[in-house]
Structures are given as structure tokens and as C-alpha cells.
A and B are shown apart, each in its own frame.
Chain A
């Protein structure tokens, strides 16, 4: 009769003592961490660096270096459609960021400072745009604005008696509305996080010293919240300028943003000009990151 051997007798449980001396394993561990980190950074940066380098390559096609040129940047600046798209992106980003910052900050104040019955539901609702896939938000907004366009058409027909040829609400307005819808929750979360570790005694002190509600808000609350609000604004600005999918579904005729322009250019084929535009966008991101780091430093 065979008897099952208890696992401890097999000896594999005894190996908790390191097989190699502790210092050696520590050094080995540090070395492999360093190797993986360097690998990961190479993975992240090699494509970006290659892209930037080839934006200065004089060859029109192919990936062979043929000499330095700035002509792709020159073409970029003289490309009217591209500059138009970039300006549209900037205007939409500015307007939607201003709206998102105001609305997001007010919502954060309400959610952090008040207790009310439906708060749990609002909490969930304010989180939803963060997790709902962009493609779903894009198609749902497209359908919604399509429905609104139909409604406008019916209304115009009923009032004037003439059916309009086109009734399309899509354009600047729908782009701004959609951008606020997806960026406002990010502003709200950023500002609310700042509000959560807010020292309310300062506000009480101001009120004790005779400042009214409005004055306390303008002189104490707002300046203390400023870093959170600015971080939220930078996030909203970046999200708006970067957005492709949602804009693609709600833009309407004549309202191509920069990412939509890049996308349609890419669909026609890779050109060094796209590399130049991408490099410009990369520089913009570096600027934004630097700004947000500086703000965080100040905050500390």
C-alpha cells in the first residue's frame, strides 16, 4: 500500500531561505528593474523620437535619411486647411474649457459641501462620462443631435409652412456642448479632490471677521481652490484638443478640428507633413505638462 507523502517531507516548503546571498539577490533585483525601466522608456520614446527626426527629413517617401530640411514645417504653416483646423480646435478648446471649469467647480462645491438625498446617484452619474467608452458617447451624441435637427426641421416647417432643405444643428455649438460633457467631470473630480482637504477654519475666520458670503468666497475659497481649478482647466483643454472620436461624430460640415484633419490626411497616406504637425502637437503637450508640474510645485 502506498502512502501519500506529506508535502513538507518533499522539502519544497523549506526553501524560504534565499538560494543566493541576500545582497546578491538585491543587486540582481535592482539590475533587472533598471533594465526593464530602460526598456519601457525606449518603448515609449523611440517611436516619438523617430517621428520627430523624420519630420526634418528631406525625403518625401521612404524611411531613408536624405538630409535636413524645414520644408515640411513651411508647408504646414502655409497649409490653409490645416491652420484653419488648428484655429478651430483652439477656439473650441478655449470655449469648452471655460464652460467646463465654471460648471465643474460649482458642481464640486455642491457635492463636497452639501448633504442631500440623491447624492449617491449624482456621484455615479458624474463618474459615468469618465468610464463610458468614447465611441459610445460619440454615437449617442450623434443620434441625439440628429433627433434635435429633425425636431428643428419640423418646427421650422410648422411655423413658416416651408420645409427647409437642410436643418443640421451640428457645428461649432454641438462640438462645444459635447466637449463640455466629457471634460466637465474631470474638472469636477480634480476640484473636488482639492476641496476635500480644504481647511474650512479659514472661511470661518473670514466670516467671524465680518466678511460676507460673497467676499469670503472671492477672497478665501477661490484663491485656495485655484491650483485645483487650474489643473482641471489644463486637463479639460488637453482633452478637448486631443479628442478625435467624439468630435468626428458631432462635427458637421466645415467643422474639422485638428485631430479630424490629421485623421483624414493619414487615411490618404503617410506624409512628412503629418510628422511636422505631430511634432508641433507634441511640443504643445510638453508645454502643458511643464505648466501643470510648475503649478503642483507651487501647491506644495
Chain B
């Protein structure tokens, strides 16, 4: 037995791949295929999927109401990615230029929220901003407002929540590519007559593109499918695609529509990921 095993690398590869391959096919791909199938079914009065095959659910998903929802989710996620990028870039830059001892401490401080439960962190923001929460107290204390104001349940609140939740996921990849950056290149650019701004855009940005792309994908993808943030910060008034999908499988009881929306959402994130890998590969080739 052992002998045969040793002599046949094919058999060895097969047994190494078997558990992982089995798990992914049975508990990841097949479930996706199941909702793929449901998305092409109709539904009866109770909401259960029925045959024959139909594209009704997709026609419904592309209804202006839902189409608008998709666009809004993508737009808000794009704004989130942009805002986290604008905040994270200076932070990563600053940390990368600190003395080594300080750098480790700062990165440790970024890693804590990175590893902390997302639900707990979003709750922390909710707790701070809610109607009779500490933020309102402070604002009333300094006399900016007389009555508690609602800081939640708006698209703006959801956006703040998304930026808050995803900021560490942008800082860390940016930092790790900046950490390897050769700072003498900036000096060289300066010597050749480029000012700091120009050196940043022409030298630093292209060379740190991999971290920038990784951070952007790590922010955009969870943002566009987000559920916790939109549920807590949106308070039912502002909604995004992830929450609508959950509703279709819950109270709305429209599985085919929920499945069709899930597949469309998957297409969106897969496209984003493919763009990322393409850009990443182009980068390596260019070097």
C-alpha cells in the first residue's frame, strides 16, 4: 500500500486535494448552483419555488426600483472605497516613515480593530451616534444643538459606518506595500526637478499600486454586499442590496428574486476581482 503510494505521485496529489476539493465543491459550489437554479424558477402562493423554468425573477431584479438599489449600493461602496483610500493613504505613509519601534506599535493599533468582531465595532459606532447617545450629549453640552438629533438612519450614516468598518482593511495592505518602498526614489525624483506632489503621483503611487488595489478590493467587495452596517446604521430607512436579499429569503418570501439578486451581486464582485487580478498581472509584467 505504502509502496504504491510512493510510486504514484498522481495518487498522492489526488489524496492531498480530495478533502479540500470535496468541501469546496459540495459546500460552496453546489449551494451556489442551487440558488442559480432557484433564480430561474417561479413561485407559488406560499413563496416556494416552482417549475417550469422562467426568467421572471431576473426581469423583476432589473425593475427600476431594484436597479436603482444596485446602482445605489455600488455608488455608496465606491464612495466608501474612495474615502477610506483618502484617509488610509496619509496614515500608511506616516506610519511607514516612523522609526521602527513606533511603527510596530502603530501597526498593532491598526490590527486590533482589523481583528475585532465587525458587529461589535459597528455597534460601538451606533452606541456613540444614537439619539440619546454620548455624541448627542456632547453636542448639546457645547450648545451646538438644543434637542437630540438623529445621526442615524441616513445614507450618510451608512457611509460613515462603512468607512469606519473598512478603514483597517485599507490601511494594512497600503502600509505593507509602502513598507517595502525605496524612499531614495523620491529623492531622485526631487533631484530631477519633481516637486513632492509630482513625485507622489508619478513615482510612489504606481509603485504602491498592488497594495492600493488589494485595499480597494478588500473594501469595495464587503461594502457592496454589506448587511450588518446597513441594518444597524440605516435603521430600515436606508437600504442596500445585501439587506434586500436577506429580506427576500425572510419576510418577503421571494426566493427566486433573492437568488437572482445574489447572482447579480456575485457577478459585480467577480468583475471587480477580475479587474484587480488583471491590473495586478499587468503591474508585474510592467516591472
- Chain A residues with a Cβ under 8 A of chain B: 16-18, 22, 25-26, 29, 32-34, 36-37, 39-41, 43-48, 50-51, 54, 61-64, 102-104, 106-107, 109-111, 114, 116, 122, 125-129, 131-137, 139-144, 147, 177-178, 180-181, 184-185, 188, 213, 238, 241-242, 244-245, 249, 259, 262-263, 266, 270, 274-275, 278, 281-282, 285-286, 288-289, 292-293
- Taking a contact as CB atoms closer than 8 A, the residue among B35, B128, B273 that contacts A143 in the complex is B35
Check B108–A293 contact: CB distance below 8 A. Answer: yes
Question: B31–A140 contact, CB under 8 A?
Answer: yes
* Contact across chains for A184 and B20 when beta carbons are under 8 A apart: yes
Q: Cβ of B17 and Cβ of A135 under 8 Å apart?
A: no
Quick check: is B93 within 8 A (CB to CB) of the other chain? yes
Determine whether the beta carbon of B94 is less than 8 Å from that of A141. no
Q: Given A34-B94, A37-B91, answer yes or no on A47-B34 (Cβ-Cβ < 8 Å).
A: no
Chain A nearest Cβ from B13, distance in angstroms: 5
Set of chain B residues within 8 Å of A116, measured between Cβ atoms: 13
B279 CB, min distance to chain A CBs, angstroms? 15
Cβ contacts B160-193/A at 8 Å (1 or 0 each)? 0000100110010000000000000000001001
The A interface, classified by DSSP as helix, strand, loop or mixed, is helix
Name which residue of chain A comes closest to B130, CB basis: A270
Q: Of residues 1 to 59 in B, which have CB atoms within 8 Å of A's CB atoms? A: 6, 9, 13, 16-17, 19-21, 23-24, 27-32, 34-35, 38
- Please report B residues at the A interface, Cβ cutoff 8 Å: 6, 9, 13, 16-17, 19-21, 23-24, 27-32, 34-35, 38, 87-88, 90-91, 93-95, 108-121, 123-128, 130, 132-134, 136-137, 164, 167-168, 171, 190, 193-196, 198, 217, 221-222, 224-225, 227-228, 232, 242, 245-246, 249, 255, 258-259, 262, 265-266, 269-270, 272-273
> Known pairs A33-B94, A63-B137. 16 more at Cβ < 8 A?
A16-B194, A29-B196, A34-B94, A40-B91, A44-B113, A63-B136, A106-B17, A107-B16, A107-B17, A135-B227, A136-B265, A137-B31, A147-B34, A244-B228, A263-B119, A274-B123
- Are B227 and A131 neighbours in the complex by a CB distance under 8 Å? no
Q: Which residues of B contact A109 (CB under 8 A)?
A: 16
Q: Evaluate contact between B130 and A129: CB separation under 8 angstroms.
A: no
B206 vs chain A, min Cβ distance (A): 19
> Do residues B167 and A44 form an inter-chain contact, with CB atoms below 8 A?
yes
CA of A224 to CA of B137 in the docked complex: distance in angstroms? Answer: 55
Contact A47 B121 (CB under 8 A): yes
When distances are taken between beta carbons in the complex, the residues of chain A under 8 Å from B13 are 110, 114, 116
A110 to B275 alpha-carbon distance, docked (Å): 27
Q: Is B23's CB under 8 angstroms from A48's CB?
A: no
Q: Which residues of B contact A142 (CB under 8 A)?
A: 249
- CB contacts (< 8 Å) of A48 on chain B: these are 113, 116, 121, 124
Complex-state Cα separation, A24 to B13, whole angstroms: 62
Task: State the CA gap A133–B262 with chains docked (Å).
Answer: 9
B196 touches A110 (CB 8 A): no
A41 CB to nearest B CB, Å: 7
Complex contact A50–B117 (CB within 8 A) = no
- On whether A245 and B262 interact (CB within 8 A), knowing A40-B87, A63-B137, A181-B27, the answer reads no
Q: Contacts A129-B28, A132-B266 hold; do A282 and B17 have CB atoms under 8 A apart?
A: no
Bound Cα distance from A180 to B24, whole angstroms: 9
> Which residues on A sit within 8 Å (CB–CB) of B136?
63
**Complex Cα spacing A180 to B195, Å:** 51
CB closest residue in chain A, given B36: A140
Give A284 to B124 CA distance when docked, in angstroms: 16
Known: A64-B137, A116-B13. A181 touches B23 (CB 8 A): yes
**Chain B contacts for A34, CB-based, 8 A:** 94
User: Is there contact, CB below 8 Å, between A114 and B245?
Assistant: no
- Quick check: A134 and B227 within 8 Å, CB to CB? yes
The 10 closest A-B pairs by CB, nearest first: A133-B225, A107-B20, A144-B31, A110-B16, A140-B31, A47-B124, A36-B90, A33-B94, A51-B124, A285-B116
- Contact in complex: B117, A47 (CB < 8 Å): no
With A51-B124, A213-B6, A238-B115 in contact, is A16–B228 under 8 Å at CB? Answer: no
- Shortest Cβ distance from residue B156 to the other chain A in the assembled complex, whole angstroms: 15
Tell me, in angstroms, the Cα distance from A13 to B214 when the chains sit together: 34
List residues of chain B with CB within 8 A of the CB of A26: 196
Q: How far is the CA of A142 from the CA of B262 in the complex (A)?
A: 13
In the complex, chain B residues whose CB is within 8 Å of the CB of A29: 196
The docked-state distance in angstroms from the alpha carbon of A114 to that of B8 is 13
B124: which A residues are within 8 A, CB to CB?
Answer: 47-48, 50-51, 278
CB–CB A285/B255 < 8 A = no
